[in-house]
Amino acid sequence: MTDTVNLMKNGRSLVKNDQKPVWKTRLVKGSFPDRDFDIAFWQEQGDEAIFRAAWEMVVVTEELKHGRKPAFQRTVTVLKRGGR
């Protein structure tokens, strides 16, 4: 079996294969947290999980702003060289 990262049905918990999700938490007191925890977390998840999470944000933003799923822009441009 390959060790791929998948999103659960709710789109929030990252899991490997069909295992239970592993939750990571931290408690920060007193000041704004540094980014070390976040960077380490996403580095563990890998490229596919990062892309899926980013795409999920695109989908949610489009639905909130415009009430629709995102679609690719269908623009065609033709460039022609001028006659000599």
Block mean pLDDT (10 aa), the chain, length 84: 41 56 84 90 92 94 94 86 79
What is the reported pLDDT for 11? Answer: 46
What is the reported pLDDT for 16? Answer: 54
Confidence (pTM):
0.54
- The one-character DSSP state at 82 is P
Q: Is the CB of residue 22 less than 8 Å from the CB of residue 35?
A: no
